[in-house]
Amino acid sequence: MNWDRNGDFLPLLLVMGGREKYRHVASLRDVAETLIIAWPTDDGEEYMAAIKACLEAIHGRVDAKDARLALIRAAEEAGIPVITVVH
């Protein structure tokens, strides 16, 4: 299990609103914390798919980039703007 795997995870910024307006996501740990702790809802097809993709990536069954893409789709579903961070 690798929570901090981020070698192929391109960072992104979510515009969450509320107390924590911007949330920087740069690893699978960040994806998991964002979905479980900071997400505005616990409903939605893309949200559930993102939870599953994150868990699969943590266990090494899919690439971290798949979890990243699932997070982006869940953000679109929830109306959360996504800013891609480029290095």
The answer to whether residue 18 is domain-embedded is yes
The answer to whether position 4 is within a domain reads no
Give the residue numbers spanning the domain of 47.
Answer: 12-84
Is 82 strand, coil or helix?
strand
Which pTM was predicted? 0.88
The answer to the question of residue 3 being in a domain is no
* Burial label, 9 (beta-carbon count in 10 A; 0-12, 13-18, 19+): buried
- Domain annotation covers residue 36: yes
3 — pLDDT class (breaks 50, 70, 90): low
pLDDT in tens, 4-29: 555 567 899 999 877 778 999 999 99
In a domain, 7, yes or no: no
pLDDT (tens digit per residue) in 44-68: 999 999 999 999 999 989 999 999 9
* Total domain count, the chain: 1
